[in-house]
Amino acid sequence: MTELNIPGTQSTPTIHGDWPAGVLAMQGDSYPENSFELFGQVIDWVERFLREEARPLALELRLLYLNTSSIKALMDIFDLLEEAHRDGLPVSVSWHYDSRNERVAELAEEFREDCSFPFAILPFSE
């Protein structure tokens, strides 16, 4: 099982892990009551990719509102990337946000403060 496909709902993001391409994409709002039911499998996927592959892994994010439990889960994912980066693995994050909503940029910026791998915060306008 190298494909990861989790359809989004009102309160959970759409998640797609493309193993051959080395891309993990997540988009939408994330405020489930129990973020671990959702992100546990994403964390497993990232851990496995970093363990088995020496290729680049890129996170493509268009996440919007995250509740604190999702923030905690996402921090765990970034911690895995940070560890991999220190071991010399090529990892990166691109977080795209609607330029009308600065809150999303601020949220991404707070994550970036704790990361030393390439982490881009990119505005788009509709």
Partner 1 sequence: MDNYDLLAMREHYNRQRIMLCFNGPISRSLIEEIGNALRNYLAAEQAQPSAAMDVFAVYIEMTQNIRHYATRMNYPEQDAAATVSISRDEEGRYVVAAGNLVELDDGRQLVDWIANLAGLDKAQLKAAYKEQLRRPRDDERASGAGLGLLDIARKSSAPLRASLKEQADGRAFLSLRAVI
Helices (H) and strands (E) in the chain, counts: 3, 6
Q: Residue 31 or 48: which CB sits closer to partner 1?
A: 31
Smaller CB distance to partner 1: residue 52 or 79?
79
| Shortest spacing between CB 2 and partner 1, in angstroms | 28
Nearer to partner 1, 24 or 35 (CB): 35
Q: Min. distance of Cβ 7 from partner 1 in angstroms? A: 16
To partner 1, the closest distance from the beta carbon of 13 in angstroms equals 15
CB atoms within 10 A of CB 114: 11
Residue 20 is encoded by which pair of tokens? 């051959």
Q: Which residues bind partner 1 (CB under 8 A)?
A: 10-11, 31, 33, 64-65, 67-69, 71-72, 75, 98, 100-104, 110
Q: What is the DSSP letter of 33?
A: S
| Residue 23, C-beta contacts closer than 8 angstroms, at least 6 positions apart | 17, 57, 58, 59, 60
- Report the C-alpha gap between 36 and 106 in whole angstroms: 24
User: Which of 53/110 has CB closer to partner 1?
Assistant: 110
